[in-house]
Amino acid sequence: MRWFWGYAVTLFWSWAGLILSIVGAIQVIEWVFKKSFTVSFRQKLAFFLVVLFISQAWAYKTLEDEVVKLRQVRQAPAPKLYYGDQELNGAQITLGLKNPDPGSCMVMHVWATIQPGPPNSFIGCGIWMKKPNDEALRTAVSIANRPVSLYVDLSQEVSDSSCQRLDEKPEPPYKVTLKCRGLEKDERTRWVLPRFQVSPMPTTDVRVRVSFDYGENPWPAATFTLRPITTAPQ
């Protein structure tokens, strides 16, 4: 009931002024027309004021709930990003020759943009984050119910990509920034972030930095090294 009393105190003077004005107006009308309103009319007016007060109080409570959720988001700790069963930040990832599970994409691998054909690009996928344990916080910051953009900085030039290439240049050693939209998967305990496909395939180690919007917190970011395939594709 804290929100109710807070609302009552906040609006006391404005409501008091409104009620006094209405009562005064009724008294003036009764004096002008030399006629008193019936008790039923006064009851209807009182009922209307009560309903109006309750409806505005409920709107105030809804607004307060949203503010509480927003504060929870701002106070939430920055999440960590993962790849496989390890933290993504600082990882050394070697591209695979193929996707071991065609039904999903959880392993970064090379890919042929024209099938059948030799690989000429690579796919970065399998990046995920844990869902918050707190149910209220999980609901407040749920990225499954809003657009998600994963930003990818690469230290190599890009000739083609499945994601939007931004005109803004990142700081060295990165050379290009991609913006990938959507959500790969929404699982019970984690969110799998969007994938990105890039041409050409790397021939040397590539520095990669990924970041994304997470509520009102600073964007969590992870940097890792992507290594070229160790065996020439057949």
pLDDT tens per residue, range 36-67: 665 566 666 666 666 666 666 666 666 666 65
Which residue from 134, 78, 71, 123 is spatially nearest to 100, judged by alpha carbons? 123
**Residue 130: its pLDDT value, please?**
86
Burial group, residue 163, by CB count within 10 angstroms (0-12, 13-18, 19+): buried
Confidence class for position 217, pLDDT limits 50, 70, 90: low
Sheet holding 127-130, edge to edge: 86-87, 82-83, 127-130, 190-192, 185-186
Choice among 1-15, 43-57, 83-97 with the minimum mean pLDDT: 1-15
- Find which of 6-15, 96-105, 178-187, 200-209 is predicted with most confidence, using mean pLDDT: 200-209
- How high is the mean pLDDT of the chain? 78
Amino acid letter for position 83: Y
